[in-house]
Amino acid sequence: MADLDLLQGTLDTLVLKTLSWGPRHGYAVAQWIKATSDGTINVEDRALYVALHRLEERRLVESKWGLSENNRKAKYYQLTAAGRGQLKQRSADWTEYANAVFKILRIA
């Protein structure tokens, strides 16, 4: 698995996780990831939007237009059933993977 793929897959998973509590627009997703990771994960917003659109193309999320809290027209993303399933699967994979890596590092 190439680094880029790992990163891309990771970003997708994080985006899906962000949307798991309900519909959000892109800006909110970006802010949430930055805030929650305490700035550790600091991707360009552009990459984030590419991820969102990619997920939409794969029908893991769907989008609707809505009004933001300050009455601006914003595009809201929301998980589809498939997206929810994907998130569950990826989370499990990730945990397993991270545990394995963590275990190895601890032994060494």
In the complex, the smallest distance separating the C-beta of residue 101 from another protein, rounded to whole angstroms, is 29
Nearest residue (CB) to another protein, 10 versus 94: 10
Site for another protein (CB under 8 A): how many residues? 34
Strand 73-79, strand 24-25: pairing: antiparallel
Contacts with 71 (C-beta within 8 Å, 6 or more apart), sequence order: none
Q: Of the candidates 26, 22, 9, 15, which has an alpha carbon nearest to the alpha carbon of residue 73? A: 26
Does the footprint of another protein cover residue 103 (CB under 8 A)?
A: no
Q: Which of residues 9-68 bind another protein (CB under 8 A)?
A: 22-28, 30-32, 35, 44-47, 49-50, 53-54, 56-57, 64-68
